[in-house]
């Protein structure tokens, strides 16, 4: 399989040579704002962890008795999940997180020259929505990828079940 197919997941879909060029620029990830503590990681770089963590907190902000995603360290669990994914998926995830926080991509697509992690929370919400509602299918897919993984990890955790009203699995007499 050609490397083009492997890289194709996002880059090809972010139509326009300018954006593809931006994806190739030494990543805007250098400007990524890191959280105070970064755990030991097996797949993410510290910057990739920071991006996923910021996205997960926007998706799952917590409040009113609900834990925010970061208090369950959804990003660290996503790291463990991606560490066991196949290499094509891993490459896609890295590319996606890179593009998500790339200031030049943000400038070209959304007119703001700031990495996602450096935005104020309300602006992060608007940035996420720009991905979710994009006319570019692969940008929407990128949003779905991050959303689904974060949601799955969060709601599989028993600490969220009380809020959901789920009593948990029944006792089984085996």
Partner 1 sequence: MTGVRSLAGDSARPSPKPDVLIAGSGSGGAVLAARLAAGGARVLLLEEGGHYTKDDFTLREDWAFTHLYQDRGNRATADLGFVILQGRSIGGGTTVNWTTSFRTPDRILEHWAKVHGVEGLTAARLGPHWDAIEERLGIHQVGLDHVNRNNGVLYEGAAKLGWQREVTHRNVRGCMKSGYCGMGCPIDAKQSMMITFIPDAIERGAEVWANARVQSLEVAGGRVRRVKVRALDPNTDRPTGLEVEIEPRICVLSCGAINSPALLLRSGLDPNGRLGRRTFIHPVSSTLAIFPDEVRPFYGPPQSVASHQFAVREGRMGFFLEVPPLHPMLAALALTGYGARHREVMAQLPNLQALIALSIDGLLPGDEGGRVSLKAGGGPKVDYPYSEPLRDSFRESMKAMARIQLAAGANAVMTLHSDSIVIKREADLALIDQAPLGPGLNAAFTAHQMGGCAMGADPKQSVVRSDFRHHHVDNLFVVDGSVLPTSLGVNPQETIFGLASFAAGFILKA
Contact characters 91-130, partner 1, x per CB under 8 A: x---------------------------------x--x--
Q: Per CB under 8 A, which region of 19-27, 33-41, 112-120, 164-172 contacts partner 1? A: 164-172
**Residue 59 in contact with partner 1, rule: CB under 8 A:** yes
What are the residues whose beta carbons fall under 8 Å from the beta carbon of 93, sequence distance 6 or more?
82, 85, 145
**Residue 24 structure tokens:** 């190739």
Residue 167 buriedness (CB in 10 A; 0-12 / 13-18 / 19+):
exposed
- Distance, CA of 19 to CA of 16 (rounded, Å): 6
Q: Look at residues 79, 84, 86, 85 and name the one whose alpha carbon lies nearest to residue 44.
A: 79
Residue selected from 1, 17, 36, 120 as contacting partner 1 according to rule CB under 8 A: 1
Our CB check for partner 1 shows the closer of 118 and 157 to be 157
What are the backbone angles phi and psi of residue 61, rounded to the nearest 5°? -75, -10
**Residue 166 in contact with partner 1, rule: CB under 8 A:** yes
**Helix (H), strand (E), coil (C) string for 38-68:** CCCCCCCCHHHHHHHHHHHHHHCCCECCECC
- Least gap, CB of 115 to partner 1 (angstroms): 20
- Least gap, CB of 149 to partner 1 (angstroms): 8
Our CB check for partner 1 shows the closer of 34 and 156 to be 156
- Least gap, CB of 90 to partner 1 (angstroms): 10
Our CB check for partner 1 shows the closer of 13 and 38 to be 13
3-state secondary structure of 63: strand
- Distance, CA of 152 to CA of 10 (rounded, Å): 22
Q: Which residues bind partner 1 (CB under 8 A)?
A: 1, 3, 5-6, 9, 58-61, 63, 66, 81, 84-89, 91, 125, 128, 132-134, 137-141, 143-145, 147-149, 151-157, 160-161, 163-166, 169-170, 172, 174
């Amino acid at each position: 399989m050609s490397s083009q197919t492997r890289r194709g997941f996002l880059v090809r879909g972010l139509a326009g040579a300018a954006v593809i060029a931006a994806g190739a620029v030494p990543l805007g990830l250098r400007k990524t704002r890191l959280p105070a503590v970064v755990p030991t990681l097996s797949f993410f770089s510290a910057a990739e962890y920071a991006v996923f963590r910021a996205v997960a907190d926007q998706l799952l902000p917590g409040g009113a008795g609900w834990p925010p995603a970061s208090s369950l360290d959804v990003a660290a669990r996503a790291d463990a999940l991606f560490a066991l994914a196949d290499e094509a998926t891993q490459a896609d995830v890295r590319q996606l997180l890179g593009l998500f926080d790339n200031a030049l991509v943000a400038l070209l697509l959304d007119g703001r020259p700031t990495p996602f992690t450096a935005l104020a929370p309300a602006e992060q919400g608007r940035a996420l929505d720009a991905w979710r509602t994009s006319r570019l299918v692969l940008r929407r897919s990128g949003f779905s990828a991050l959303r689904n993984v974060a949601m799955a990890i969060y709601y599989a955790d028993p600490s969220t079940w009380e809020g959901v009203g789920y009593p948990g699995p029944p006792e089984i007499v085996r």
